[in-house]
Structure 1
Amino acid sequence: MEFSLIRKALFLSLLIPTVSNAQYTDVINSNRPGRAVSAYAVGKNVVQAEVGLFYEQQDDSDLNFDSNIFGTDIALRYGLLFEQLEIVYEGSFISQSIDFAGLAPDQTLTDFTRNRIGAKYLVFDPFKNPEANKPNLYSWRANNKFQWKNLIPAVSLYGGATFTLGDNPFYLGDPNISYRGAVATQSRLSPRFVLISNIAYDRIGTDFPEWNIAVSVTHAFRNPKWSVFFEGQGIESDRRSDLLVRTGLAYLFHENFQADFHLGSNFKDSPSRLFAVAGLSYRLDFHKDVLIPIDQQSSGKNGKIRRNSSKKKRKKQKRKKKDDIDF
């Protein structure tokens, strides 16, 4: 291959500057639309469902067939034990009708193209320290201009397993279980722009493991209920290589409910792909903030009160009163 698709995707990741949230937020934190996933978890005790319906037209000039695909995507996410941890199920189920133009009998293939369970953990959060990231109350420009420190990304690690059930026509020859490892990064470039990138090594344990890279950019409009995104995705293995782009909109109905729509295509004709996707995201919010007693808080650098600091303050006040009396 003259210029590998992975190199193209890496090049795009350097050029393309998506809007997202840090840990638990008052507004739903959805990975839709698109394929790139946030570095952040949904938040402890949050249950979230992200569902999509899609149509794809897929034509292959080399194999002389046209096909129509109808399917559904689903992701079920749950914040478990810690704010940084979530477990997630991801599934895609499709029905593909293939027309060989009389050269062979037509076929209809129906099964899972994705059936995966995994866990994601946030290992680094540059916004964890509120003192270092508090807004400037005196300058709008200071809060909205580009700052180099915003390029420092949040980083999470993902590990999961894909399960192949029965004689799946989309995974012929694959074992019943294969594995996936991934790194997700996320940088807030400004209050309205965030960059998300994913690098994954997928289908580990099969004859055709593959690299998968996705970079997504989202811009929130002045009306924050609306946002637009652009995404590039590269896939490379001995089985297939492809480069896809997606763009679309998301609308926030209320803090727990979002709708989205996007279109996408690839850049090759073996096969060529053109698809449209509509989706919904909804969460059940059982999150509770943990209130730490003052005498148990520590680390004054992040805005918390040091252990015994109130006791020290009282002693200081007593000494000051004694000095005043002596004077």
Structure 2
Amino acid sequence: MKKIVFLCFVLFSITVKAQFTESLASDRPGQALSVNTVGKNVFQNQTGIDFFENNSLYVPSSFFRFGLSEKLELNSGFILSGENFASDLASFTIGARYLLSNVDSNSKSSLQLSYDFGADAKNTQLTYIFGSSFTDKLSYTANLGINVNDDFNTNNALYVFNMAYSLNTKMGVFVETFGTFLNNTDQINFDAGYYYLINTNFQLDALIGENDGLFVGAGFTWRVPFNKK
């Protein structure tokens, strides 16, 4: 269950731009990976903690992103778990995200490729990401991914569909459905959340959802742009 909730380091974004923007664009909160890359020479840290009611488990996680160009970023993340607080490494991923579309397109698509060194069964995940806007305030993000083990056998496939609404320039909300399918792993889960942009480089967030029981979470995104070119 925890692997599903945090599969991609978990995220949505209401702003759909790939180049450096005046305000950050985060994967948090939510399960959907954003179509965005962070932008050239931008470092971004997305950190949070989630609580699962069914097993009284606290699960901290962090995801680090750095833009090599406007279209390409490298990223890495970890998830901690365990009956004793954060005593076990549940996941440690290294990956990259590449924007397939032109940076000025209204509708965008990208690919995220990650390898998990920390899972019980090491695996590779490839996710196709698509994002677009209905209006200036209402947007959506869709993820469709596949997870394979080191023997190139398919573990499962995953999906996320996220609808986000910008309340104003600082606040936004979202609802989404997410889960897995293939190999008798069919799941349908839901969550919803909220973000607040403190300034152009710092954002707070919170969410609540259902995934074999109630889970809640909160976190932040912190961005360091080294230059704006």
> Does 2:179 align with 1:213?
no
* Runs of 5+ unmatched residues, structure 1: 1-17, 59-66, 98-107, 129-149, 267-271, 290-327
**Which is richer in strand?**
2
Partner of 2:3 in structure 1? none
Partner of 2:71 in structure 1? 84
Partner of 1:282 in structure 2? 222
> Does 2:88 align with 1:111?
yes
Q: Provide the TM-score with structure 2 as the length reference.
A: 0.86
**Offset of residue 239 of structure 1:** 6.4
Partner of 1:39 in structure 2? 35
Q: Alignment RMSD, CA only? A: 2.1
Hey, what's the Cα distance between the residues in 2 that align with 1:51 and 1:83?
Answer: 23
Hey, what's the Cα distance between the residues in 1 that align with 2:90 and 2:182?
Answer: 17
Hey, what's the Cα distance between the residues in 2 that align with 1:126 and 1:287?
Answer: 18
Instruction: Please show how residues 101-140 of structure 1 align to structure 2 within 5 Å.
Output: 110-125=87-102, 127-128=104-105
Partner of 2:171 in structure 1? 226
Partner of 1:22 in structure 2? 17
User: Does the CA contact (< 8 Å) of 2:164 and 2:172 recur in 1?
Assistant: yes
1:270-302 CA distance string (max 9 Å, x none):
xx321000010000111332xxxxxxxxxxxxx
Q: Provide the TM-score with structure 1 as the length reference.
A: 0.62
**Offset of residue 182 of structure 1:** 1.1
1:206-259 CA distance string (max 9 Å, x none):
6661101011111011x3211001111021243633211110110000000000
Q: Residue 242 of structure 1 aligns to a residue in which SS?
A: coil
**Offset of residue 73 of structure 1:** 1.4
Q: Residue 161 of structure 1 aligns to a residue in which SS?
A: strand
Partner of 2:51 in structure 1? 55
User: Does the CA contact (< 8 Å) of 1:232 and 1:243 recur in 2?
Assistant: yes
**Offset of residue 69 of structure 1:** 0.8
* Runs of 5+ unmatched residues, structure 2: 1-12
**Offset of residue 71 of structure 1:** 1.3
Q: Residue 56 of structure 2 aligns to a residue in which SS?
A: strand
- Change over 3 Å in CA distance of 1:120–1:75 after alignment to 2: same
Partner of 2:130 in structure 1? 185
Identity of aligned residues (%): 25
Structure 1 stretches of at least 4 aligned residues deviating more than 6 Å after TM superposition: none
**Offset of residue 110 of structure 1:** 4.3
User: Does the CA contact (< 8 Å) of 1:265 and 1:274 recur in 2?
Assistant: yes
1:35-85 CA distance string (max 9 Å, x none):
101112000000000000111022xxxxxxxx22111011100001x2000
Q: Residue 246 of structure 1 aligns to a residue in which SS?
A: strand
Q: Residue 100 of structure 2 aligns to a residue in which SS?
A: strand
User: Does the CA contact (< 8 Å) of 2:146 and 2:154 recur in 1?
Assistant: no
**Which is richer in helix?**
1
Hey, what's the Cα distance between the residues in 1 that align with 2:77 and 2:188?
Answer: 22
Question: Equivalent of 1:256, from 190, 196, 201?
Answer: 201
> Does 2:108 align with 1:154?
yes
Number of equivalent positions: 215
Bigger Rg, structure 1 or 2 = 1
1:274 partner letter: L
1:132-175 CA distance string (max 9 Å, x none):
xxxxxxxxxxxxxxxxxx6xx311112121103xxx6xx2xx2x
